Amino acid sequence: MTSLNIITVAGKQTKIGKSLSSYVQETLKITLKKFFKNFINSSVLFSKDTFNFKCEISIHLEGSIFVKANALSNDPYGSFNLANEKIKKRVRRYHRKLTDHRTSSSKSIKYIAANEYVLKNPEDLGKKEFANNPIIIAESEEIIKTISVSEAMMLMNLNDQSAIFFKNSQTKRLNILFKRSDGNIGWLDPKK
């Protein structure tokens, strides 16, 4: 059995004091308690940017539901407060859909396992020989979920992603939702 409501606060190349750590834990619990009795875990990572502090919040609510946000500010408290506001807004906006998703997820959700690769941009290397044979700098295993388009859009926004790859529950085809440069959402649904 997994423990619930674990909040981990850490610093990447920066020290995190007890005061900041306890402030983050209490504030995040208050934020989530309004909508959820329990969550699985949460991690808050502070790092130093050139002139600012960056705060990245990742919350595992339940099952396959994650909420992520990040923000920059000139002090760590400010960066956390800005990121926490983004979390509040996303959870508030999708609370009804999340609770509907919770009841509908009692039926079995189908997943497809896939590999995800992060490639080095050949233009950054300045060598044309890598264009046809790119350098892999990271590799991980991901899950492609069978969900509706509205659920995919909700998950993309909750995870602060610029794109999401999913299997459409209605058409049974692989689809992609992505944020366009004009601010709208693009949807690729290939024909048979």
Domains 6-104 and 111-188 share a fold: no
| pLDDT band for position 5 (cuts 50, 70, 90) | confident
Q: For the segment 15-57, what is each residue's pLDDT rounded down to a tens digit?
A: 889 999 999 999 998 888 888 777 888 999 999 988 899 999 9
Two structure tokens written together for 63: 């099952």
> In this structure, are residues 69 and 55 in contact, taking their beta carbons and an 8 Å threshold?
no
What's the confidence (pLDDT) of residue 91?
Answer: 84
Q: Does residue 89 or residue 114 have the better pLDDT?
A: 89
Two structure tokens written together for 25: 């834990």
Q: For the segment 93-114, what is each residue's pLDDT rounded down to a tens digit?
A: 877 776 665 555 544 556 666 6
As assigned by CATH, the class of the 111-188 domain is: alpha beta
CATH architecture designation of domain 6-104: 2-Layer Sandwich (3.30)
What is the total residue count of the chain?
192
Structural domain spans, the chain: 6-104, 111-188
Q: Which residues contact 39 (CB under 8 A, 6 or more apart)?
A: 4, 5, 32, 59, 60, 61, 62
Q: For the segment 127-170, what is each residue's pLDDT rounded down to a tens digit?
A: 555 556 667 666 767 778 888 898 888 888 888 888 998 999 88
